[in-house]
């Protein structure tokens, strides 16, 4: 627990704290600019926060760079530290007299606090667990509609995960998330490799065709092996079958080539015939037919020329495509001729049979590889879907349990602070977000008392070590409700609760006694937190 804070900028030598409730008391006028909120922000700074540096810049501006000397007690051992505004990213470990022993990073320091508070949670940092529940003016984390949001740009899903971690229920989700990440990366790798043709990318239809082709090839290999004793007979039979297949393929390709050549010739002839008619040809026409309208003919000819120009690009592309197709067919015909020659030359030798088996085996392996990658792709997608569905189920179960735990506790506490309550506040949690519900009264006071009840419920149901509540939370809450809240705050004897409150005179005797016994400092216009008061609008 936090034991003390000392600083040269304080009006008093040191501020001492104790287990349970610690109250910063303001005056009966609810004066601003006396240091109540600033002290709470300093406590947040002691616990590793940085809002004191970013929000309370006026303190450094008017008081200069300064430091805080403070101590914690854990298991009857005292640990002393110094943290400065000039070097807030480091913390200094000290001896009993606050002499500096060594410097540690802020991250190392908050890990120390996490360990000392026995927060066995490897999925969160100390600050991500505690920061939200330090609701101090300037931190902007007291939106009653979004009470789990650390700031106004927080994403609901992240805040839900923080809550799950705080309730120590994140282990299953983390395991599933790791599996999802693994399968997502595998799926991306397969997709990327396919796009670069590093691995084959086949359809379900091709997969089925491959199975049939593999079966046919394996049967053919088996037949060859079984009939090796009849080699001389089978060799001719096999080679003849292959020659017939190759010749059929050659004829088909040759026919296709002839069609391409014919089409190419027609287009080329068309280009030759579509030359522009020159003026001498028009002159000869006039000699033969004096009555002809030459201007009309020239107009038609110009139209014809313009059309040809427009089509010229498309015609060129068509010619290039036809030539490319003819080249591809020529290459295929050469390969077929080579294969035919090889078969004819090998009919008197066992090499042909060997080549045949090698070719079939190669085809089988290629098709099996294609199907293997297809199976892996499908399996990865199925695994990814399974893990996502599992995450949905597990998250729902976990969130349902957390939701029930919080709502049950809120119901108990709400009945303590409200006379004849109709319905206590509740929170609804799901994988993507949450909703905080206030039923009895939607006024500001009831809204903030519901927010306080939410924090106290979470403090009660988790290993959250402390909470900090500033005066602005109590401003509009009814007197009776504040009195009951003070009593509830005071019931947390094994954790530290830091609150700031003023106008103590208006509360009942029991509440005043609690406040008097649990106050750590009392501030007013004369006895401010700092000796120097520079702007009454900033210190509060």
Instruction: Report pLDDT for 39.
Output: 98
Q: What percentage of the chain exceeds 70 in pLDDT? A: 85
User: What is the per-residue pLDDT for 290?
Assistant: 59
Tell me which of 143 and 440 has the higher pLDDT: 143
Q: DSSP strand E in 407-539: where? A: 426-429, 434-437, 466-469, 496-501, 519-522
Lowest mean pLDDT, pick from 3-17, 82-96, 117-131, 308-322: 308-322
How confident is the model over 287-311, as a mean pLDDT?
A: 58
- Please report, for residues 109, 405, 468, 490, 502, the alpha-carbon distance to residue 487 in angstroms, rounded to integers and kept in the order given: 33, 22, 16, 5, 16
Confidence band for 354, pLDDT divided at 50, 70 and 90: low
Give alpha helix (H) positions in 140-230.
Answer: 156-166, 171-195, 204-226
Residue 400 has pLDDT above 60, yes or no: yes
Query: Which pLDDT belongs to residue 279?
Result: 54
Higher pLDDT, 191 or 90: 90
- Is 192 or 436 the better-scoring residue by pLDDT? 436
Q: What is the mean pLDDT of the chain?
A: 87
Sign of CA dihedral 181, 182, 183, 187: positive
What are phi and psi for residue 91, nearest 5 degrees?
-130, 145
Provide the pLDDT for residue 538: 45
Chain centroid, CA 286 distance in Å: 82
What tokens appear for 179 in the block? Answer: 């599996």
Split at pLDDT 50, 70, 90, the class of 404 is very high
Spatial CA neighbour of 503 closest among 22, 24, 23, 27: 27
Compute the half-sphere exposure of residue 389: CA atoms within 13 Å on the CB side of its CA.
6
Instruction: Give the helix/strand (H/E) hosting 76.
Output: none
**Domain boundaries along the sequence of the chain:** 2-144+438-522, 204-349
> Per-residue pLDDT tens for 169-227?
999 999 999 999 999 998 888 888 877 777 788 899 999 999 999 999 999 888 877 76
Render pLDDT for 4-26 as a digit per residue (tens, 0 to 9): 999 999 999 999 999 999 999 99
pLDDT of residue 229: 52
Q: Say how far apart CA 12 and CA 540 lie, in whole Å.
A: 18
State pLDDT tens for residues 521-534. 999 999 999 988 87
The predicted model scores a pTM of: 0.72
The answer to whether 488 and 417 are in contact (CB under 8 A) is yes
Neighbour-count burial of 289, counting CB atoms closer than 10 A to its CB (0-12 exposed, 13-18 middle, 19+ buried): exposed
Decide if 274 contacts 266 (C-beta within 8 A): no
More confident residue, 405 or 356: 405
Please say whether the beta carbons of 136 and 468 come within 8 A: yes
Neighbours of 62 (CB within 10 A): 15
534 or 53, higher pLDDT: 53
The rounded percent of the chain whose pLDDT value lies above 90 is 61
Question: Residue 167 pLDDT > 50, yes or no?
Answer: yes
Highest mean pLDDT among 206-210, 342-346, 491-495: 491-495
- Are 172 and 394 spatial neighbours (Cβ–Cβ below 8 Å)? yes
Residue with tokens 């290999």: 221
Q: Note the pLDDT of residue 268.
A: 73
pLDDT, average across residues 104-111: 98
Architecture of the domain made up of 2-144+438-522: 3-Layer(aba) Sandwich (3.40)
Pairing of strands 466-469, 2-6: unpaired
């Amino acid at each position: 627990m936090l034991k003390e804070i000392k600083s040269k900028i304080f009006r008093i030598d040191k501020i001492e704290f104790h287990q349970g409730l610690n109250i910063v008391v303001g005056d009966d006028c609810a004066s601003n600019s006396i240091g109540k909120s600033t002290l709470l922000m300093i406590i947040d700074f002691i616990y590793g926060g940085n809002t004191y540096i970013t929000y309370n810049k006026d303190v450094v501006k008017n008081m200069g760079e300064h430091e805080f000397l403070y101590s914690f007690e854990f298991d009857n051992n005292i640990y002393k530290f110094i943290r400065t505004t000039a070097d807030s990213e480091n913390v200094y470990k000290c001896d009993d007299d606050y002499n500096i022993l060594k410097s540690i990073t802020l991250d190392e320091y908050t890990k120390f606090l996490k360990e000392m508070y026995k927060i066995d949670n490897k999925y969160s940092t100390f600050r991500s667990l505690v920061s939200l529940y330090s609701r101090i003016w300037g931190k902007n984390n007291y939106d009653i509609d979004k009470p789990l949001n650390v700031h106004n740009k927080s994403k609901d899903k992240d805040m839900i995960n923080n809550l799950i971690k705080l309730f120590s229920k994140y282990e299953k989700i983390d395991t599933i998330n790791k599996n999802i990440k693994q399968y997502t990366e595998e799926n991306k790798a397969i997709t990327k490799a396919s796009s670069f043709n590093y691995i084959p990318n086949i359809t379900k239809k091709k997969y089925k065709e491959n199975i049939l082709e593999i079966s046919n090839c394996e049967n053919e290999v088996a037949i060859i092996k079984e009939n090796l004793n009849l080699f001389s007979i089978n060799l001719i039979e096999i080679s003849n079958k292959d020659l017939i297949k190759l010749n059929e393929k050659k004829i088909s390709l040759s026919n296709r080539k002839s069609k391409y050549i014919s089409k190419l010739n027609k287009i080329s002839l068309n280009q030759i015939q579509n030359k522009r008619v020159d003026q001498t040809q028009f002159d000869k026409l006039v000699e033969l037919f004096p009555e002809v309208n030459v201007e009309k003919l020239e107009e038609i000819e110009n139209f014809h020329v313009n059309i040809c120009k427009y089509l010229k690009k498309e015609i060129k592309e068509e010619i290039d495509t036809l030539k490319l197709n003819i080249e591809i067919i020529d290459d295929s015909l050469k390969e077929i001729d080579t294969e035919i020659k090889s078969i004819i030359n090998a009919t008197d030798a066992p090499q042909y049979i060997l080549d045949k088996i090698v070719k079939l085996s190669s085809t089988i392996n290629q098709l099996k590889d294609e199907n293997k990658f297809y199976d892996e792709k499908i399996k990865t997608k199925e695994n990814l879907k399974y893990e996502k569905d599992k995450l949905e189920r597990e998250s729902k179960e976990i969130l349902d349990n957390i939701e029930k735990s919080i709502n049950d506790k809120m119901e108990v506490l709400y009945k303590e602070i409200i006379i004849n309550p109709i319905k206590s506040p509740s929170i609804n949690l799901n994988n993507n977000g949450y909703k905080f519900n206030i039923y009895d009264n939607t006024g500001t006071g009831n809204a903030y008392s519901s927010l306080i009840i939410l924090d106290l419920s979470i403090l009660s149901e988790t290993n959250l070590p402390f909470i900090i509540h500033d005066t602005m939370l109590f401003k509009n809450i009814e007197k009776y409700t504040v009195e009951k809240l003070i009593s509830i705050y005071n019931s947390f004897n094994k954790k530290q609760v830091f609150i700031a409150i003023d106008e103590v005179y208006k509360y009942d005797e029991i509440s005043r006694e609690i406040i008097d016994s649990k106050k750590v400092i009392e501030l007013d216009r004369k006895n401010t937190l700092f000796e120097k008061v520079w702007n009454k609008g900033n210190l509060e």
